[in-house]
Each structure stands twice: as structure tokens, then as C-alpha cells.
Amino acid sequence: MAESRSERGLDVGVGVGVDVGVDVGVDVVDVSRLSRVISLRGPALVHRVFTAAELRDCRGSVPRMAARFAAKEAAAKALGTGIGPVGWHDVEVRSDTRGAPVLTLRGTARAVARTRGLGRWAVSLSHDATHAAAVVVATGIARTGPT
């Protein structure tokens, strides 16, 4: 039997006109390319892109840095801005006590998210020796009536 929208918790009423924004960003990073760039540019680049807390979480692992780099790019894509208007430190990807990634927005990223009504963020990271990937999903606050 097919599951209805309301059974999945997506429907709050027929004809109500609920608008819940959902935005997605995806990015893939070549780990060896990032490693080469870090070797060429050194600590200045690493500290420009990553917060001190992110670097502690990565424990020197370039694949972990690449996954966080991908998440920052993916978050900026979900915001609709890309990196540039949103700075590298405006998006921080940390590990919670279980090791799961947690995305935090600051500065311009937070302001853009508020303007767009995006309040909940989910992030998934993956990496191996050659590639790192991240998916970021932003969901908004339910609004009724015309948009």
C-alpha cells in the first residue's frame, strides 16, 4: 500500500498553502588536488578555509579536510550564493560527541539563511583516499498563505 503524504508527516492540511522551503547542495572534492594545494599554499590557506575547531576535528587528515571543504561548498550552494558572498568561516562543520557532522552558520551565511527562511540544516560527509563528498539539506519554516 502506498504511503500518503500525511502518513509521512508532510501534509498539514489540504489547501492550506503551506510553503516549507527545501534547498540542497552537493559537492565532491578530489583529495589529492586539495593535498597539492595545501602543500603549495601552506598553513595560510588551511587557516583561511578552516576554523581552529574544524582542524582539531580533522586531526591532520586531508580526506577529512576535503569532506569539510565539500560541505562548506555544498552549504553555500544550498544558500544559493556559492562561496564568495559567504566566507569560508561562515560555515563550520564540526563533529558531535558521536562523530556525526554538525553544520553551524555564522555571519553572512546565517543572515542569508534567515532571509530565505531556512532554519534547519542536515549534512552528510563521505570520503575515501581519493574523493570526498558532502550533501547539505536546508529546510525552512512552514509559512501559510501566499508566498
Point out the annotated binding site for Mg(2+). Answer: 27, 73
Q: Shortest CA distance to 58 belongs to which of 71, 76, 41?
A: 71
Rounded to 10 degrees, the C-alpha dihedral 106/108/113/116 comes to 170
**Measured between alpha carbons, how far is 126 from 52 in angstroms, rounded to an integer?**
21
Point out the annotated binding site. Answer: 27, 73
